[in-house]
Amino acid sequence: MCKDIECIKNSFFEPVSTKEITSAIKRLKEEASSGPDQIHNLLLKNVPQNILKDIMYLFSLSLRE
């Protein structure tokens, strides 16, 4: 199982990019309520850039699994 982004990049699928994550976050409606994860869209819209890599890793790992 991959433990870092380099492993994911070398995997058999295309990993999710930070550009894709940023684009998806920009399209979120600020006034929408939180989903089952209780993460509000405003939080995602204001997340620091260094956290985007962690989100990218989680999405890519999720797709791989």
pLDDT value of position 10: 59
With respect to residue 2, please indicate whether it lies within any of the assigned structural domains: no
| Residue 8 is assigned to a structural domain of this protein | no
pTM over 0.95: no
In a domain, 55, yes or no: yes
Please indicate, yes or no, if residue 3 is contained in any of the structural domains: no
In a domain, 7, yes or no: no
For 53, the domain range is 17-63
Over residues 48-62, the mean pLDDT reads 85
How much is the average pLDDT of 29-55?
Answer: 88
Give the pLDDT confidence of 3-29 residue by residue, as tens digits: 666 665 555 566 778 888 889 989 999
Rounded Cα gap, residues 45 and 56, in angstroms: 15
- Structurally, the chain folds into a number of domains equal to 1
Which pLDDT does position 29 carry in this prediction? 92
End-to-end CA distance of the chain: 9
Whether 34 is covered by a domain: the verdict is yes
What confidence tier does 2 reach under pLDDT thresholds 50, 70, 90?
low
